[in-house]
A and B are shown apart, each in its own frame.
Chain A
Amino acid sequence: MRVYLIALLAFAGLAVAPFGIGGYETNVLMMVLFFVILAVGLDLVTGYCGQFSFATGAFYGIGAYTAAIMTRDFNTTIWVHLPAGAIVAGLFGLLLGIPALRLKGHFLAIVTIAFQTIVYLVISQWTSFTGGQVGLPMPNAGPVTVFGVTLFEFGSLRSYYWLTLAMTALTLLISWRLVNSRLGREWVAIRDDETLASAVGLDTTRGKLTAFVAYAALAGVAGVLTAHSLRGVTPDDYTIWISATVVAMMVVGGRGTFIGPILGAVFLAILPELLGKFAEYKMLIYGVLLVLVVTLMPEGVVGRLRARAAR
């Protein structure tokens, strides 16, 4: 119960935050929330289920392009895109989960890098469908109506921020329920010892595929939100460097600790803002940080703190 209370307070604080800060800061906060969704999603498949993925950027992009292409071709709204992005990305997650049934460790890592690269090639080269290097623009989400009555107009920065905040709360709640359910326990069992998991009667195929789908769907949701709030998509927002950034957030915070990747995302997403003119070095810093943390503290900051508290 205490967890829910703390979470509630945090979200209440974040909800009123736009009244106290400027537009730029609101934008930064919104970006932090995108990364929180991505890092928590990656933690499900890698931290809990032990299946490696460097393809977060790809699923993020699939969600974003689903929204952009549906807007262009069907003129649908964000309320359609959110479930659609989750479903399309989730289906691709299922597709990538199939190799994970047979491959382990580095082989799986290579396949996910190949997948990430293929998705990038498709969105940057297939100009007639995806807009190529230029990407696709997106109009405002428009008014939100119930029975013909306009509740509020979508378009202001704050409305996107609140929507993102609500979706972050929802995805965190779902993830929390997942890792504390029977399924979440099976994921950890698969991570610890797959042979044993199978020997005690667990269906490891179902375990791995559900983890991949959950991860991909969450990244897809983050993609839809990003596409709408940035008013468009360009391929360079969904590269392997995004995947690297999210891996760094998860590893630095602590794999499989739930709160760790959230804190990692907040810290590493805000870091470039604090660096001022050194912000262009952020990927360099992420890379070095990844090497250092994984060498000196592979369990991450939260993992280390918990181990210390248990002693």
Chain B
Amino acid sequence: MDLFLQYMANGVVIGSTYVLVAVGLTLIFGILGVVNFAHGEFYMIGGYAGIVAITVLKLPVLPAIAFVLLVAAVVGIAAEAILHKPMKNHDATSSIISSFGLAVALQNAALVVMGPQPQRLNLDVSKIPVLSSLPTDFGPVFLPQQRLLIPIATVLLIAILYVVLRYTWTGRGLRAMAQHATVARLCGVRVERVAIVTFITGAALAGTAGMLMSSVFFVYPIVGNMIALKAFTVVILGGMGNVAGAAVAGLLLGITESLTSAYISNAMRDVVGFVFVILVLLFRPQGLFGKAVERS
């Protein structure tokens, strides 16, 4: 039983990163209709940006986070310029191919710049105020601060995102676009700006996830492949474009994987999500929580 709780906690930690990556992916799809196969690379770049900021530039934690967000913003703007703006008059397959090409290019750029060897961020928690004072033992569950930080940051970021979407003009514009792009445009929503904001948000969420995870797991050039697949799994399970669905599905996938690896086999951990997703696509293409829509 004690071990079970520990596995659940580990699952929540992993699941939280899936949520961060998947929410951005689902936003970009829901608002702009772009299926971004390069989303895992946003995570990878966030991880490397964190490592560079802290170990190379020797920045303290908060400026390091700012650095990661800055890099993510640049990546987001560039990705929008490549994957969204020129693709409006192209068919859907072209945008799939284009983002896939971008993913391959980014992975190999990382391979050239950072090298193939996996790297990890050595975060000295004891020097960080607030974080160092957090407890690490919760009854039978042990969570070091680096891990504990991940679900906390996820909850915070998702809460901020929710408030922005709900109560700001930009948020209303984003939601209007998701509902009906043409009508939103007619009502004066500036589509270009919304598109850029959406990509920056997606890149920032995934980049933050990458930075947080880089103190727990290794970062390497193709780490984004698996993360992107997990995020797609989550997005499909949650229903394409559904943010709340992605949050629930992300935690579910993290916990399922953690339990699979503990009780069945470690090798099955990654396979279980894909089997899930293929089944869901075949039998409930609208996702676990979506409603079936059929149109004349």
Contact = CB atoms under 8 A, between A and B. Distances in A.
A and B directly contacting (CB within 8 A): yes
Interface of A: 46, 50, 52, 54, 98-99, 102-103, 105-107, 109-111, 113-115, 117-118, 121, 125-126, 240-241, 244, 247-248, 251, 280-281, 283-284, 286-291, 294-295, 298
A200 to B, nearest CB: 21
A286 B285 contact: no
Nearest to B90: A298
B87 A284 contact: no
Given A117-B274, A121-B270, A247 B105 contact: no
Interface string B64-98: 00000000000000000010001100111110111
Interface residues of B, number: 40
B98 A121 contact: no
B159 interface: no
B103 to A, nearest CB: 7
A294 B271 contact: no
B105 A288 contact: yes
B288 to A, nearest CB: 15
A281 B105 CA distance: 9
B103 A287 contact: yes
Contacts of A46: 93
A253 B285 CA distance: 34
B100 interface: yes
B98 A290 contact: yes
User: Secondary structure of the B side of the interface?
Assistant: helix
Contact of B278 (A50, A99, A290, A295): A99
Given A54-B100, A105-B92, A298-B94, A287 B106 contact: yes
Contacts of B100: 54, 109, 244, 247, 290
Q: Pick the most buried of B93, B98, B103, B232: most chain A CB atoms within 10 A of its CB.
A: B93
User: Secondary structure of the A side of the interface?
Assistant: helix
B161 interface: no
B229 A291 contact: no
Contacts of A110: 35, 229, 232, 236, 277, 281
A113 B277 CA distance: 12
B112 interface: yes
Nearest to A46: B93
Given A102-B282, A117-B226, A284-B108, A295 B236 contact: no
B109 interface: yes
Contacts of B61: none
B94 A294 contact: yes
B225 A288 contact: no
Nearest to A98: B282
A295 B87 contact: yes
Given A117-B270, A287-B108, 19 more contacts: A98-B282, A99-B278, A99-B281, A99-B282, A103-B285, A105-B96, A114-B232, A114-B274, A121-B270, A121-B271, A240-B225, A283-B108, A284-B104, A287-B105, A287-B106, A290-B97, A294-B94, A295-B98, A298-B90
Interface string B243-285: 0000000000000000000000001001100100110011001
Nearest to B101: A290
Nearest to B102: A291
Given A102-B282, A284-B112, A294 B102 contact: no
